[in-house]
């Protein structure tokens, strides 16, 4: 992608993912970035930001853009729990044991 809306740095959560943009009667396969962030010094009212940007350089369907979802801490935990459950189901389908994680640190999975 020649022009990116989101800043991609060493701190970006996932700097390369396989992705698709899907519309009615069209589908563009591409790559993209996913980032999760919160302010450096958050307050109780600050959201957890989930940002997704697809590399749509070859798309005739979408302009360059990024999508952002602002989540409450509880919503972020719900999404995190669903992601962990889905990852465990896929691990089990592959014959792998789900990885046990410290409840306080889901990155230890």
The pLDDT tens digits of the residues spanning 27-73 come to 999 999 999 999 999 898 999 999 999 998 777 888 889 999 999 99
The reply to whether 104 falls in a domain is no
- Measured CA to CA, the distance from residue 51 to residue 7 in angstroms comes to 10
CA distances from 48 to 25, 43, 44, 78 (A): 33, 11, 11, 12
The reply to whether 105 falls in a domain is no
The reply to whether 101 falls in a domain is no
* Residue-range definition of the domain harbouring residue 39: 14-96
Note the pLDDT of residue 74. 96
Q: Is the pLDDT of residue 8 over 70?
A: yes
How many Cβ atoms from other residues are within 10 Å of residue 103's Cβ? Answer: 7
The reply to whether 55 falls in a domain is yes
Note the pLDDT of residue 102. 57
Domains: count for the chain:
1
The reply to whether 32 falls in a domain is yes
The reply to whether 106 falls in a domain is no
Q: Tell me the whole-structure pTM to 2 decimals.
A: 0.78
pLDDT category, 14, cuts 50, 70, 90?
Answer: very high
Q: Which residues of 1-40 are buried (b: 16+ CB within 10 A; e: fewer)?
A: beeeebeeeeebeeeeeebebeeeeeebebebbbbeeeee
The reply to whether 102 falls in a domain is no
């Amino acid at each position: 992608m020649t022009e990116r809306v989101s800043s991609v740095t060493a701190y970006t959560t996932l700097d390369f993912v396989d992705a698709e943009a899907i519309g009615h009667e069209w589908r563009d396969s591409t790559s993209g970035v996913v980032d999760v962030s919160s302010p450096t010094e958050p307050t109780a009212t600050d959201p957890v930001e989930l940002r997704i940007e697809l590399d749509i350089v070859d798309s005739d369907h979408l302009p360059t853009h990024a999508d952002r979802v602002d989540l409450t801490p509880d919503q972020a935990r719900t999404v995190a729990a669903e992601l962990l459950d889905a990852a465990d189901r896929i691990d089990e389908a592959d014959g792998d044991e789900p990885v046990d994680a410290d409840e306080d640190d889901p990155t230890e999975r």
